[in-house]
């Protein structure tokens, strides 16, 4: 290696480090913005009915089924992806009809919600539960 090629190699090395630093920075920005992330999809937006169901869930269900702020024992079942299973935690089939029955009639420590939800509200709540609680 000649003495003349050393400064050239040093400059090339410095330029390569500079460019690679920018590539890493830009790749990080692109990743944080979701650009070029093949296979990564955001969840579909909720419908108006599902949004109404989410509002009902957050107001009437979440304080027991998520936060359990009443420190209930046994802890109420987690309802995330409840319809992704073939059965509910009770062993009953995971169907809309069974969900409606449990909500309206109550079960164990869960109070009955008969008369507290209209048919439209029950449809919205069940539709939201089908989203997996997004």
Q: Got the DSSP string for 54-91?
A: HHHHHHHTHHHHTS-TT--SSPPPP-TTGGGSSB-TTS
Which residues are 106's β-sheet partners? none
The CATH class that applies to domain 48-129 reads mainly alpha
Does position 25 have pLDDT exceeding 80, yes or no? no
pLDDT value of residue 32: 56
**pTM for the model:** 0.66
Comparing 32 with 106, the larger pLDDT belongs to 106
Q: Where are the domains of the chain?
A: 1-42, 48-129
pLDDT band at 43 (very low <50, low <70, confident <90, very high): confident
Which of 86, 76, 119 is CA-nearest to residue 100?
119
């Amino acid at each position: 290696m000649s003495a003349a090629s050393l400064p050239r190699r040093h400059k090339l090395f410095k330029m390569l480090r500079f460019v690679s630093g920018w590539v890493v920075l830009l790749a990080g920005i692109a990743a944080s913005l979701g650009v070029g992330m093949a296979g990564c999809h955001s969840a579909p937006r909720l419908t108006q009915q599902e949004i109404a169901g989410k509002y009902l869930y957050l107001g009437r269900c979440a304080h027991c089924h998520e936060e359990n702020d009443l420190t209930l024992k046994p802890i109420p079942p987690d309802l995330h992806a409840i319809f992704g299973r073939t059965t509910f935690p009770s062993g009953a089939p995971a169907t809309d009809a069974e969900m409606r029955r449990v909500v309206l009639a109550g079960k164990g420590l869960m109070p009955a919600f008969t008369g507290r939800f209209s048919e439209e509200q029950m449809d919205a709540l069940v539709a939201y539960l089908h989203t997996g609680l997004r």
